[in-house]
């Protein structure tokens, strides 16, 4: 990148795992200390840590605009990649 060369996008979302911070937030939700978790991180780590629903969505979530159903997948939903929208 420093030489002006674009590097390929190599993040494998299925390989990511929640950190202790994600797990701590999930525990606070479970204990009723937090009513909501609002985050712009769409990597799916909140969901993997046990938080049942995120306002922003995740890289593992699909939404049907026709019927309004929300689907959580086990694999990354590539159509929702931010770099596809901001490239």
C-alpha angle 26-43-22 in degrees, rounded to nearest 5: 20
Residue 56 among the catalytic residues: yes
Nearest to 34 by CA among 18, 50, 57: 50
Helices (H), 1-87: 20-30, 45-49, 82-86
From the candidates 22, 46, 47, 56, give the one annotated as an active-site residue: 56
Catalytic residue annotation:
56
């Amino acid at each position: 990148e420093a030489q002006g060369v674009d590097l390929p996008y190599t993040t494998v979302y299925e390989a990511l795992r929640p950190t202790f911070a994600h797990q701590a937030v999930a525990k606070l939700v479970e204990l009723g200390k937090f009513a909501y978790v609002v985050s712009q991180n769409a990597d799916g780590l909140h969901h993997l840590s046990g938080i049942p629903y995120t306002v922003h969505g995740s890289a593992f979530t699909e939404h049907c605009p026709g019927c309004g159903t929300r689907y959580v997948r086990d694999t990354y939903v590539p159509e929702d990649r931010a770099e596809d929208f901001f490239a």
